[in-house]
Amino acid sequence: MNIRLLLSLKFGLQFINQIIFYTVKMVEITNSVVTSELFISLRCTNRIKKKSSFKCSGIFVSPTSALERSGSVGFCLIVWTTCGVLSLLGALAFAELSTVVPRSGAEYAYFIEAFSPLHRYAGQIPAFICSWVYVLLLRPAEVAVVMLTFAEYSVQPFSGYLSNLPEESMLKLKKLIAILALGLITYINLTSVKLYVKVQNIFTVCKVVACIFVISGGIWWLCTGHTELLKKPFDGTTDSPGNVALAFYSGLWAYDGWTSAAIVTEEIQKPEVNILRSILIAVPLITVLYVSMNLMYMAALTIPEMVSAPAVAVLWAEKVLPSWLSFVIPVGVALSTFGCSLSIQFGVSRLCYVAGSEGHVPRVFSYVHIAKMTPSAAVAFQGLLTLFCMLLGDIIALIEFASFLTWVFYGLAMLSLIIMRRTKPDASRPYAVPILIPWLVLLVSIFLAVTPIVHEPSPKYLFALLFILGGIAIYHTYVYKKVRSILAMRITYLIQALCLVVAPDKEN
User: How would DSSP label each residue in 427-472?
Assistant: S--SS---THHHHHHHHHHHHHHHHHHHHS--HHHHHHHHHHHHHH
8 Å CB contact between 127 and 116: yes
% of the chain at pLDDT higher than 90: 11
Above 50 in pLDDT, residue 153? yes
Count the helices and strands in the chain (H runs, E runs). 20, 4
Among 226, 171, 200, which residue's Cα sits nearest to residue 344?
Answer: 200
The string of pLDDT tens digits covering residues 206-250 is 777 777 878 888 888 888 877 777 778 888 888 888 888 888 888
Average pLDDT of span 488-495: 84
Quick one: pLDDT at residue 262? 61
How buried is residue 182: exposed, middle or buried, by Cβ count under 10 Å (0-12/13-18/19+)? buried
Q: Are the C-beta atoms of 462 and 259 separated by less than 8 Å? A: no
Q: Which of 57-61, 222-226, 353-357, 484-488 has the lowest mean pLDDT?
A: 57-61
pLDDT tens for each residue of 450-481: 887 787 777 777 888 888 888 899 898 888 88
Could you tell me the CA-to-CA distances from 333 to 22, 168, 198, 313 in Å, in that order?
A: 21, 24, 19, 8
Q: Which helix (H) or strand (E) element contains residue 37?
A: strand 35-38
Provide the pLDDT for residue 5: 45
Mean pLDDT score across all residues of the chain: 78
Quote the pLDDT of residue 49.
Answer: 39
Helix (H) / strand (E) element for 264: namely none
- pLDDT value of position 260: 66
CA pair distance 109, 369, nearest whole angstrom? 25
More confident: 20 or 256: 256
Specify which residues 36 forms β-bridges with. Answer: 48
| CA atoms of 120 and 123, how far apart (whole Å) | 6
Measured distance CA(207)–CA(329) in Å, rounded: 10
Amino acid letter, 164: N
Please state which of the ranges 164-173, 279-288, 393-402 shows the lowest mean pLDDT.
Answer: 393-402
The Cα diameter of the chain in Å comes to 81
Please, what is the Cα angle at 138 between 134 and 139, to 5 degrees? 80
Span 6-38, pLDDT tens digits: 444 455 545 445 544 444 444 333 333 333 333
pLDDT band at residue 438 using 50, 70 and 90 as cut-offs: very high
Question: Domain 43-502 is in which class?
Answer: mainly alpha
Instruction: Report, as an integer, the average pLDDT of 252-269.
Output: 68
Q: How confident is the model at residue 396 (pLDDT cuts 50, 70, 90)?
A: low
60-93 confidence digits (pLDDT tens) = 666 777 888 888 889 999 999 999 999 999 989 9
